[in-house]
Amino acid sequence: MTMADDQLRAGFGARLADAVSRRGPLCVGIDPHPSLLHAWDLGESPQALERFALTVVEALADRVALLKPQSAFFEAYGSAGVAVLEKVIAESQQAGALVLLDVKRGDIGSTMAAYAMAYLDERAPLAADAITLSPYLGYGSLAPAIGLAEQNGRGVFVLARTSNPEGIGLQQSVHGSGDAVAQYIVDAAAESNLGKEPMGHVGVVAGATIPPGELDFSDLNGPILAPGLGAQGATVQDLKAVFGRALPHVLPTTSRDVLRHGPEIKSLRDTHSRLATDINQELGL
């Protein structure tokens, strides 16, 4: 059994906790948006995509706990883009970063099982340490991915209360349980994590821009991915107000606020370092 096998068998919650203890909680997205490619004077091509993404990996994968490539920006280039994504995952992991692949998949039955195999099976070319999932065909429909992730020492992050304003009407609507849909998802994730140490493998996505106290994370026992820093308006100071006692499990995430400082590797590293220091100081780490 290899060291990588041992790490996977430790479970995603344990692996993530260890990575955060060594590298801090800041998660950086790898989002090769066309505007960023042009800002880096790269243009739009599979070659430009590869240069952009692997520059970010070279700059940050040896110092962040979690990198989050956005799959859509790679898929836009077809098979060539997916091949770049495979490299991003492999090289990030080789440098010691965990990879959260932002794919937001959600379906039912055998289709959901196939998505799980594509991203969470040990033999899959796109196997990541964790993926994002959409629960809006029912939380129970995610069971194939949640189960395979646990079996293989990987994780999932389920969309609960996202930072985009379009999600408010649906996510704040009342579920059959009597709670808001977003709270129901958090509570369902908590059931999946029950009894796991140091935390479970099912995280949730909850934006740093949501009103303080809107959601109760006290029983979650899992990680919270918190988008919204910087470009979407949330500040480091907002984290305490929004997440309260759940702060030790929060993974603040940003992309553009770091990536716009490329393509120089030193500039990317310096920007990450400043933001990570601000977050660590605010969270008392």
Run of H or E including 146: helix 143-151
Q: Quick one: DSSP state of residue 129?
A: S
CB–CB of 280/272 below 8 Å? no
pLDDT beyond 50 at 3? no
Asked if 87 is an active-site residue, the reply is no
Closest Cα to residue 36, out of 53, 59, 54, 61? Answer: 53
Mean of the pLDDT values across residues 206-218?
94
Domain spans, the chain = 3-137+169-210+222-283
pLDDT category, 208, cuts 50, 70, 90?
very high
Q: For the chain, give the percent of residues with pLDDT over 70.
A: 96
- Superfamily name with CATH number, domain 3-137+169-210+222-283: Aldolase class I (3.20.20.70)
Q: What is the pLDDT of residue 163?
A: 85
pLDDT beyond 70 at 90? yes
Q: What is the pLDDT of residue 8?
A: 52
pLDDT digits (tens, 9 = 90+) for 130-176: 999 999 999 999 999 999 999 999 999 999 999 888 998 999 999 98
Alpha-helical (H) ranges within the chain are: 3-9, 12-23, 34-39, 46-60, 71-75, 78-94, 109-120, 143-151, 168-171, 181-192, 238-243, 256-259, 265-283
pLDDT beyond 90 at 42? yes
Closest Cα to residue 120, out of 111, 133, 132, 129? Answer: 129
Run of H or E including 81: helix 78-94
Run of H or E including 254: strand 250-254
C-alpha to C-alpha distance for 126 and 105, rounded to whole angstroms: 14
Long-range contacts: 122-126, Cβ < 8 Å, 24+? 122/8, 122/152, 125/86, 126/82, 126/85, 126/86, 126/89, 126/101
Options 104, 196, 240, 266, the catalytic residue: 104
C-alpha to C-alpha distance for 204 and 53, rounded to whole angstroms: 25
Chain-wide mean pLDDT for the chain?
94
